[in-house]
Amino acid sequence: MSVKMTPPVGKNEYIDVIFEDLTHDGAGVAKVNGYPIFVAQALPEEHATIKIIKVKKNFAFGRLIELHKKSPYRQEAPCTVYKQCGGCQLQHLSYEGQLKAKEKQVRDVMRRIGGLEDVLIHPVLGMEKPWEYRNKAQVPIGDREGGLVAGFYRQGTHEIINMEKCLIQIEANDVLIQAVKAICEKYGVQAYREEQHKGTLRHVMARYGQVTGEIMLVFVTRTEDLPQQQQIIDEIVAQFPNVKSIVQNVNTKRTNVIFGDVTKILYGSEYIYDCIGDIKFAISARSFYQVNPIQTKVLYDKALEYAALSGQEEVIDAYCGIGTISLFLAQKAKKVYGVEIVPEAIEDAKRNAALNGMTNVEFAVGEAETVIPNWYKQGIRADVMVVDPPRKGCDDSLLATIIDMKPKRVVYVSCNPATLARDLRILEDGGFKTREIQPVDMFPQTMHCEAVAVLESV
């Protein structure tokens, strides 16, 4: 027999609540008889009057009307466009509060989803300076009277708001983008107009090599031509000698996807270089490369420590991207096999291995859940398995192969604590024990939470 539950709140009702938690996108959660209400900008421990704005069967949304008791961690968001942008979700929470919230998020899902009651979870490794960390800026370009705007889409819309400075962006990228905007304006480049599918310049991307200081600039255009191209390039290079690569990507489609299929080099090299620790990487316009270089080093060092390599091990690095973790591991392993689904990333991975003179790595294109079971059938056994899947976590058939293969250790790098917890449960049921989990704050001011876990075969 099903019981029809009536939500305990009604639309437009005003109620007083106490917030207990944050959602994964940074909204406060309050409960009325166990029924959750999500309220943007509210923080755990806060007492407030809210107005119910939307009621669903199992939850509701409310708006903050008046705060009666503030969280001790509440702060004024330093960014002037914080609420319009939506790129950051936690600027109204002090950094100490953010780290505590992320630790709690990991603890909660390990208990609730993973059923892991007593696993060792360390406090989050945060940044000394949790600002100006992003090495990549990707900004939409729009029109305004007599010029261009470069910034971000107002949350939930396609309206482009101008932004001169993003507080989580490395300053060099902001300065370059402002200059590029002015130079393009001077030479009469038109912004892409989405509704009419007219105009030229859709996006500008800047990527900065933290260690080398090299910058790549990408113009994403609707048209094959970039008018006055040579003058534009000459001015940029004259003003910014560390711009080592200028690339044009042509995207002729009506789409929200940023990049199109054709990429042309307008100036300099196809790549810029950057280093993480002792390893050098060539990064092309379309490559995935971690956006927070300082914390990437922290994360990879931890993954390497957890792998506990002696030099004798064969290691599989699943979801290897351009081989960043694979090359880190190869410094200490007998052999590393990397697997990744994007063919261009594997080309980059091979080039990066050669660039660092590493011969004990081998890369394959394909789904981790297909390639690794095949390897297993062919007799390849990993002593240590490293996985770094996208948000949805590992595929069941990959987890089943790991359980059959029984590596001594599994190092699981995750960008989503919920799927990490789910997959740890499966591995525990298959004969592994989770030894410890180290969350690393790769994305300060946002709700994103990265963590690395190590499991041993028992």
Query: Which range in 21-29, 60-68, 159-167, 334-342 contacts ligand SAH by CB under 6 A?
Result: 334-342
Is 234 annotated in a binding site? The answer is: no
Asked if 431 contacts 95 with a C-beta cutoff of 8 angstroms, the reply is no
Is 278 annotated in a binding site? The answer is: no
Q: Which helix (H) or strand (E) holds 152?
A: strand 147-153
Is 327 a binding residue for ligand SAH by CB under 6 A? The answer is: no
The Cα 10–Cα 3 span in angstroms is 19
**E-state strands within 222-360:** 243-250, 262-268, 271-276, 279-284, 314-318, 335-340
Is 290 a binding residue for ligand SAH by CB under 6 A? The answer is: yes
Among all chains, which residue has been given the structure tokens 């609540």?
17
Query: Which range in 98-106, 141-149, 307-315, 367-375 contacts ligand SAH by CB under 6 A?
Result: 367-375
| Torsion over CA: 67, 68, 74, 77 (sign) | positive
In angstroms, what is the minimal distance from the CB of 329 to ligand SAH? 11
Q: Which one of residues 235, 383, 388, 441 is an interface residue with ligand SAH (CB under 6 A)?
A: 388
Is 276 a binding residue for ligand SAH by CB under 6 A? The answer is: no
Is 342 a binding residue for ligand SAH by CB under 6 A? The answer is: yes
Which residue, 90 or 329, is less far from ligand SAH as judged by CB?
329
Angle at 275 (CA atoms; ends 270, 280), nearest 5 degrees? 65
Q: Among this protein's residues, is 415 annotated catalytic?
A: yes
In angstroms, what is the minimal distance from the CB of 284 to ligand SAH? 14
Is 61 a binding residue for ligand SAH by CB under 6 A? The answer is: no
Is 344 a binding residue for ligand SAH by CB under 6 A? The answer is: no
Q: Please tell me the number of Cα atoms within 13 Å of 316 on its side-chain side.
A: 28
Asked if 141 contacts 149 with a C-beta cutoff of 8 angstroms, the reply is yes
- Give the active site residue among 184, 320, 394, 415: 415
Task: Give, in order, the Cα–Cα distances in Å from 398 to each of 143, 246, 390.
Answer: 48, 39, 14
The binding track of 396-435 with respect to ligand SAH, each residue x by CB under 6 A or -, is ----------------------------------------
Which residue, 141 or 349, is less far from ligand SAH as judged by CB?
349
Which residue, 269 or 397, is less far from ligand SAH as judged by CB?
397
Is 294 a binding residue for ligand SAH by CB under 6 A? The answer is: no
Token output for 423? 């997959």
In angstroms, what is the minimal distance from the CB of 324 to ligand SAH? 4
Number of neighbours of residue 363 by Cβ within 10 angstroms: 22
**E-state strands within 350-389:** 361-365, 384-387
Is 325 a binding residue for ligand SAH by CB under 6 A? The answer is: yes
| Torsion over CA: 363, 364, 365, 369 (sign) | negative
- C-alpha 246: how far from chain center: 24
Is 171 annotated in a binding site? The answer is: no
The Cα 387–Cα 326 span in angstroms is 10
Q: Which one of residues 15, 182, 266, 341 is an interface residue with ligand SAH (CB under 6 A)?
A: 341
Number of neighbours of residue 192 by Cβ within 10 angstroms: 21
Angle at 78 (CA atoms; ends 75, 82), nearest 5 degrees? 100
Query: Which range in 11-19, 65-73, 117-125, 366-374 contacts ligand SAH by CB under 6 A?
Result: 366-374
Is 446 a binding residue for ligand SAH by CB under 6 A? The answer is: no
Among all chains, which residue has been given the structure tokens 């969280």?
71
Query: Which range in 14-22, 155-163, 272-280, 363-371 contacts ligand SAH by CB under 6 A?
Result: 363-371
Is 319 annotated in a binding site? The answer is: yes
Instruction: State which of positions 149-188 bind ligand SAH (CB under 6 A).
Output: none
In angstroms, what is the minimal distance from the CB of 342 to ligand SAH? 4
Query: Which range in 17-25, 220-228, 238-246, 336-344 contacts ligand SAH by CB under 6 A?
Result: 336-344
What b/e sequence results for 216-226 when a residue is b if at least 16 CB atoms lie within 10 Å of its CB, and e otherwise?
bbbbbbbbeeb
Q: Which one of residues 288, 397, 431, 456 is an interface residue with ligand SAH (CB under 6 A)?
A: 288
Task: Give the single-character DSSP code of 119.
Answer: -
Task: Give, in order, the Cα–Cα distances in Å from 250 to each of 30, 139, 253.
Answer: 47, 16, 9
Interface residues toward ligand SAH, by CB under 6 A: 288, 290, 319-321, 324-325, 339-342, 345, 367-369, 388, 390
Residues annotated as part of the active site: 415
Residue set of the binding site for S-adenosyl-L-methionine: 290, 319, 340, 388
